């Protein structure tokens, strides 16, 4: 992976001045099916060169107003025990400026608790979009497995709203049924308009500190085939956009961080493009909600020449 990555070929702003921070975290220790998640951050960011600056759903060019910085890669160190590496990640993220949008690019889903612990140390809500339950206390001998992040988030005291779930172990269903802090929307249930609107109403109702975690396998594999553990079914592109629009519909939203994880680069590069476009949507809707459209046009886009 190169030493310096960029979003849409824009220069990286000074970290303490950037409105948006993107942290590449190419961790791949516990993936249990298709390898390659460590290659995802660079593949996604390189694909952003094929995006337009104009974001059509919100109707503006976010980077005329927003500055962005892709941070240096937070690499794995196989010599470190998993606990030590995750503690180091949490400390690193806690050292970053806090009044911005932080998006971490994985890497595997085991990243989420370490990121949430540093950006949301008090109890909050995690909107967890995934094909899998990820509710194991441990998996294959490790509590830092990609099968365990929701269990770790509960240990941190958070509420978790889960959607898109369509692969789950029996004990995970039992835990979700008895745990009042979990709100679970199974994927097939979301096929019906009533349950889909109930999910959007739940997203609209979220208050207080919030963290957003998107496993790319939440999408239908016909749209995103490049994931570590694909499952039939899943979100369509427009369902995801609707979810984001509802989430960012409140200017008072206290979003502490975002991660996008578990993508595996594949020959068609469609998966990379979906992930790149997803980043653009998140940044655009967040910036619009916080009023950046009305701020001076001194963003990162204004610092480069383009056609």
What is the pLDDT at residue 3? 60
> What is the C-alpha separation between 282 and 274, in angstroms, rounded?
12
Full DSSP string of 173-212: HHHHHH-TTEEEEETGGGGSHHHHHHHHHHHHH--SEEEE
What is the pLDDT at residue 1? 45
What is the pLDDT at residue 141? 83
**Are 133 and 231 spatial neighbours (Cβ–Cβ below 8 Å)?**
no
Determine the 3-state secondary structure of 270 from DSSP: helix
Per-residue pLDDT of the chain (307 residues; tens, 9 = 90+): 456 899 999 999 999 999 999 999 999 999 889 999 999 999 999 999 999 999 999 999 999 999 999 999 999 999 999 999 999 999 999 999 999 999 999 999 999 999 999 999 999 999 999 999 999 998 888 899 999 999 999 999 999 999 999 999 999 999 999 999 999 999 999 999 999 999 999 999 999 999 999 999 999 999 999 999 999 999 999 999 999 999 999 878 999 999 999 999 999 999 999 999 999 999 999 999 999 999 999 999 999 988 7
> What is the C-alpha separation between 138 and 54, in angstroms, rounded?
43
> What is the C-alpha separation between 277 and 214, in angstroms, rounded?
13
> What is the C-alpha separation between 77 and 181, in angstroms, rounded?
34
Q: Residue 203 class from Cβ within 10 Å (0-12 exposed, 13-18 middle, 19+ buried)?
A: buried
End-to-end CA gap in the chain? 28
> What is the C-alpha separation between 185 and 162, in angstroms, rounded?
6
């Amino acid at each position: 992976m190169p030493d310096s990555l960029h979003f849409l070929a824009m220069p990286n702003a000074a970290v303490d001045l950037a409105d948006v921070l993107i942290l590449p975290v190419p961790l791949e220790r516990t993936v249990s099916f298709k390898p390659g998640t460590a290659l995802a951050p660079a593949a996604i960011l390189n694909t952003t060169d094929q995006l337009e600056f104009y974001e059509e759903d919100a109707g503006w060019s976010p980077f005329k107003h927003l500055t962005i910085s892709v941070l240096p890669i937070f690499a794995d160190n196989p010599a470190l025990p998993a606990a030590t590496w995750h503690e180091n990640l949490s400390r690193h993220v806690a050292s970053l400026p806090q009044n911005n949008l932080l998006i971490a690019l994985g890497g595997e889903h085991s990243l989420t608790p370490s990121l949430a612990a540093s950006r949301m140390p008090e109890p909050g809500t995690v909107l967890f979009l995934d094909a899998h339950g990820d509710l194991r206390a441990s998996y294959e001998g490790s509590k830092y497995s990609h099968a365990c992040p929701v269990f770790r988030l509960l240990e941190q005291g958070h509420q978790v709203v889960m959607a898109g779930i369509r692969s789950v172990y029996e004990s995970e269903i039992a835990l979700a049924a008895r745990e009042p802090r979990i709100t679970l929307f199974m994927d097939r249930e979301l096929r019906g308009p009533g349950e889909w609107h109930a999910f959007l109403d739940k997203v609209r109702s979220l208050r207080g500190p919030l963290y957003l975690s998107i496993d790319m396998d939440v999408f239908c594999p016909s749209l995103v085939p490049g994931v570590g553990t694909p499952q039939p079914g899943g979100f369509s592109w427009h369902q995801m956009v609707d979810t984001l629009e509802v989430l960012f519909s409140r200017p008072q939203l206290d979003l502490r961080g975002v991660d996008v994880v578990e993508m595996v680069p594949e020959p068609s590069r469609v998966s990379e493009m979906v992930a790149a476009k997803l980043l653009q949507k998140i940044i655009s809707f967040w910036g619009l909600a916080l009023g950046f459209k009305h701020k001076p046009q001194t963003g990162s886009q204004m610092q480069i020449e383009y056609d």
